[in-house]
Amino acid sequence: MTALLLPQFKSSQTHSHFEYPLSENEPDLNGIIDKTADFLIDNDDFERAAELFTKAETAFPKVILYPRGLGYCYAKQGLYCK
């Protein structure tokens, strides 16, 4: 079983961090990762979205969404040589 941890999110009230472990058996894993990345990208948090895509690509190398999303995040950060 491969587990993937989504990025940590800060709660605006408590400033605590949360991690959400996901299993490859999660029925909508790609959708969860995609929506999480969209949230990060919509909030201009390209560094953490890239971290999510990197972890997802490592855990699930056959999913084309992850390297494409990673490339988008790198481009938005001006990291064209990665």
- Each residue's pLDDT expressed in tens, for the chain with a length of 82 residues: 455 555 554 444 333 344 556 566 666 788 888 999 999 999 999 999 999 999 999 888 888 889 999 999 999 999 877 6
Quick one: pLDDT at residue 30? 83
Per-residue DSSP letter, 46: H
Q: How far apart are CA 41 and CA 70, in angstroms?
A: 11
Q: How much is the pTM?
A: 0.69
Structural tokens at position 21: 């472990």
Domain ranges of the chain: 28-82
